[in-house]
A = this chain, B = another copy of it.
Amino acid sequence: MNTEDVANKVVELTRKQAWREAVNSLYAKDIVSVEAQGMGGDSPEKRGIEAVRGKADWWINNMEVHSFKVNGPFVAHDRLVVEYDVDVTDKNSKQRMQMSEVGVYTVKDGKIVREEFLPLTGKG
């Protein structure tokens, strides 16, 4: 798959919230996944497909999703960007949150080798 194929697949699978399928079909084994902030003092950077699978499972288990909008993809060369607008309730804290962020993905040999998530900090 070229970058655009991967990009279209990211959009298709995230719109379906098919996180496990996305990880299994699109991610390189040595994926590097970078959040804006680590959770609970943890590093914001995770390495390896098992760590990303763990993040996906955490999300599925902990979030009640009210809406999940996916905009994009934006594509050039080995890079793609997708925007996510999310409305969720954390099942533990019962806190409802609206979040917008972009994922910046780097593709090599048809697989995602790096992903970075950047939250919206401005007024949009």
Contacts and interface: CB of A to CB of B under 8 A. Distances in A.
A27 to B, nearest CB: 20
B34 A76 contact: yes
Q: Majority SS of interface residues in chain A?
A: strand
A104 B83 CA distance: 13
Contacts of A119: 74-76
Interface residues of A, number: 31
A94 interface: no
A80 interface: yes
A121 interface: yes
- A-B CB proximity, top 10 nearest: A36-B76, A74-B118, A76-B118, A74-B102, A75-B121, A81-B102, A73-B122, A74-B120, A72-B122, A81-B118
